[in-house]
Structures are given as C-alpha cells and as structure tokens.
Amino acid sequence: RVDYFFYIGTYNRNFYLHHGVQKEKLIFMPYAVEPKNKILKEKDKTNNIFFCGKLFDKKNPLDLLIAFSKMQNKNINLLFAGEGSQKDELFNKAKSLNVSSRVKFLGLLNLQELDYWYDKIDLLVLPSGYGETWGLVVNEALEFNNPVIVSNMVGSSLDLCKGNGYIFECNNIKDLTKKLNKIYSLSKKEFHSLRVESANLKQKFSFKSIEENLLILTNSNAVK
C-alpha cells in the first residue's frame, strides 16, 4: 500500500530490499546537514584529532583514547567535544597513559564553536559500537572537507567513508591505531586527496540531492 520508500544510505536501502520492497519504489533521501560552503584548499595537518559526541559506552571514546596513546607521532592532540558519564574515566585514563597534556576536553559546544573546531582539525574519528544508526557528525565533518575514521558499526560508514579515510573493526584498538598512524604518515598531497573525496561526498549527501530527488518524484507523478 506504500508507493515510495525514502532511504538515507546503503544499509537502509538493503533493509528495505531484504523485506521485499521493489527497487523502483526506493528513492534516495540522504541524511544531510546545513551546508557550510567551505572552499576546498590544500593545507598542512594541524595535528588535531576530533571526537564529537556523548562521552559514554556506545560511542567508545575510551577505545579512541587508548589507540591515540599508542600512536607513533607524539605531537598530536586529541580533542573531545561533548559531555557524558565516561568523562571522569577518560580524564583519569589519559593521566595513567601519560597523554593528559595532549588530550583536551572541550565540553558541550554550540554550533559556532563546533564550526570553529571542525575548521581546525585533521580528521574526525567516530569509534561507535552497536546502535550508531547513522552518525550525523560525519556529515558535519565532511562539510569542512575533513577526512574521517569510523568503525564498521557506524551506519554511515559505507556511504561517508569512501576514499576519504578509513573504516576499522569496532573495538579493535590495534586496527584503530593502525588507521590513525596511516593518516599521519600520508604526504601533504595524499592527505589532500582525502579532503577532495570528502568534498565530493558532501555534494551527494546534501540538501540539494534531497531537493533534486523530490523534484524528480514530483514530476514523475505529475506525468502519471
């Protein structure tokens, strides 16, 4: 009895197909955020890794902290934006790992503050486990042409991490550390190529894509 189903990404599309929805009824309506219209330009790494979200179990911020402590490059900072039940544990763990001087807790940020930091980072890391159905912070990072590293449990991983970063196995700290080291071993040219791909992806997962697909749908119905 349903004419069309809107899907936000690959996993959502596969869900509908699994339940017998015909391909002709599927319309791409991507998750998107307000466009920032940031001009893509080559830049040096700032040595800032960004985590944005609630500091609690589902997001696995502790995994990121441990992986960060094992990185080869000791001149990098880890920035936590957000609040949550694990904040004290993270603070104490940073001390015990002897990285507290390079770990910053920024607290809960407003939109203007978030924009400021998205513009100052090298990459966003989202290490979430089960229950991260999309991860809109990845879209936000892409708006600033930032590379990303996400776990394979993040709902947007197949769509928003394609040539612009790396997917790692959830809860696999060794794998996450490897991917972090890989980012920071890239040349300036290689790093810029990741930024180019993020810029390309944000064009697809955008309000413009939503508008265009709605117009196609509207026009096709008008013809009928």
Q: CA-to-CA distance for 55 and 89, rounded, in angstroms?
A: 10
Q: CA-to-CA distance for 212 and 163, rounded, in angstroms?
A: 25
Digit-coded pLDDT (tens) for 51-87: 999 999 999 999 999 999 999 999 999 999 999 999 9
Q: CA-to-CA distance for 30 and 9, rounded, in angstroms?
A: 6
Can you give the pTM of this predicted structure?
A: 0.94
Residue 196 has phi, psi (to 5 degrees) of: -60, -45
pLDDT of 1? 85
Q: Compute the Cα dihedral for 48, 116, 89, 178 and give only its sign.
A: negative
State which residues of the chain have pLDDT below 50.
223-224
Token output for 45: 């790494």
pLDDT of 54? 97
pLDDT of 222? 54
